[in-house]
Amino acid sequence: MLRAGQTIRLEALTVTRTQVGIIGAGPAGLLLSYLLHSEGIEAVVLETRSREYVERRVRAGVCEHPTTQLLREIGVGARMDAEGLPHHGLSLRFDGEDHRIALTELTGKAITVYGQQEIVKDLIAAHEAKGWPVEFEVSGVQPHGLDTEHPWIAYRDEDGATRRLDCDVIAGCDGFHGVSRPAIPAGEVRFFDREYPFAWLGVLARTPPSHEELIYTHHERGFALHSMRSPEITRLYLQVPHDEKIEGWSDDRIWSELSLRLETSNQDFSLREGPILDKGITPMRSFVAEPMSYGRLFLAGDAAHIVPPTGAKGMNLAVADVRMLSRALVELLRHKRSELAESYSDICLRRVWRAEHFSWYMTSMLHVDPGADEFGRRLQLSQLRYTASSRAAATSLAENYVGLPFA
């Protein structure tokens, strides 16, 4: 058997040996690799997209308090602290009025707005500086031997050469549409799924934010969200039908609809417009794969679960997953103790289902359900009014939003 880090050439096949093969160079895969290497466990990250693509794709922007603490503790939080935007509250806007949820006052914690792609850039730079391997633009990735102690990954490198990565463990961090979860034999994993009858139209605009904090708006025409990525870049969302096409939304129409939904009754809010840099439509769904492991394959992040973005939980769940997985793999590979690896799924799923519930709660409270009757609409308003007026209800929202402590 090859030793970790060793490579040999077998005719047209190059075989490399490592301890952990990681599929996917998003925040989950890169953070897992960083945590493992920091503990002396060798890992190789395989990514089908280019480095430029993964560093530019626009994704989540809200970092929970536990996420920011972890990034600082491991030494990759310097740019986040310099450029990220700490937030101590958020607004629920309904009936044309703002109702501030004082996150820090209620919990003693805050969130930080710092784009997922920025975390990816920081982690790639750290890997590059330390010489830790990340292979981009690979193809034909397929995990094998998952029910053995020596699984392996077949793929072709960026030059098209056939490669094989022998591992002790494979981590599937390749997202909802990746190859890892489908590699598990049918019947070994249960899927829990819910699709929503609406989607989000998201835009990235070159304009200063119109408000210092996030605004979650419930409007009779549909949900809207005012967010930001930096002091010069604003991120905004509109609820649209689930089958809506982006071609039907001109820039003028987007700004007009945002202005209408975000307006206040006392006219103390003015939406700042600017050039739209990016726009797209994202479907809304909830999804959980249970368990999150099979044999020597461990799923993390979107490969194992999806949450509606209303609760700002997706990337943060991925961080919690790989934090736990890194500890389990250190126990398994260095100390030959399997208990934590065997408990990985059960431990992570407790947090996953809490986040699923919170994300569903925020989604159902703020969006207009096209199938709801007037009774359902009155219930929504009742929940919003209670949340905004009750310290206990506001504290529950704030506690979940800033992030529960890691297990």
User: Virtual CA dihedral for 52, 120, 45, 139, nearest 10 degrees?
Assistant: -30
Q: Which of 305, 309, 344, 367 is catalytic?
A: 309
Q: Give the strand order in the sheet containing 224-228.
A: 97-101, 90-94, 214-217, 224-228, 233-241, 190-206, 276-290, 305-306
Identify whether the C-beta of residue 318 lies closer than 8 Å to the C-beta of residue 26: yes
Q: Left, alpha or beta for 390 (phi > 0: left; psi -120 to 50: alpha)? A: beta
Q: Is the dihedral of CA 106, 108, 112, 116 positive or negative?
A: negative
Short-list 300, 320, 253, CA closest to 63: 320
Phi first, then psi: give them for residue 75, nearest 5 degrees.
90, 20
Tokens encoding 28 = 């989950």
Active site residue 245: no
Active site residue 216: yes
Say how far apart CA 260 and CA 257 lie, in whole Å.
Answer: 5
Tokens encoding 180 = 């890892």
Identify whether the C-beta of residue 354 lies closer than 8 Å to the C-beta of residue 317: no
Q: Give the strand order in the sheet containing 297-299.
A: 134-135, 43-46, 20-23, 169-172, 297-299, 293-294
How many Cα neighbours within 13 Å face the side chain of 194? 10
Active site residue 27: no
Tokens encoding 107 = 């919990």
Q: Which of 87, 127, 305, 367 is catalytic?
A: 87
Q: Which of 216, 237, 294, 344 is catalytic?
A: 216
Tokens encoding 137 = 């633009």
Tokens encoding 238 = 């509109």
In 106-142, which positions are buried (b, 16+ CB within 10 angstroms) versus exposed (e)?
bbebbbbbbbbbbbbbbbbebbeeeebbbbbebeebe
Active site residue 197: no
Phi first, then psi: give them for residue 342, nearest 5 degrees.
-70, -25
User: Virtual CA dihedral for 143, 325, 192, 297, nearest 10 degrees?
Assistant: 20
Residue 260 belongs to what H/E stretch?
helix 251-262
Q: Which of 109, 226, 313, 367 is catalytic?
A: 313
Identify whether the C-beta of residue 54 lies closer than 8 Å to the C-beta of residue 28: no
Short-list 25, 67, 37, 350, CA closest to 171: 25
Active site residue 155: no
Specify the residue for token string 């044309």. Answer: 96
Question: Which are the catalytic amino acids?
Answer: 87, 216, 309, 313, 401
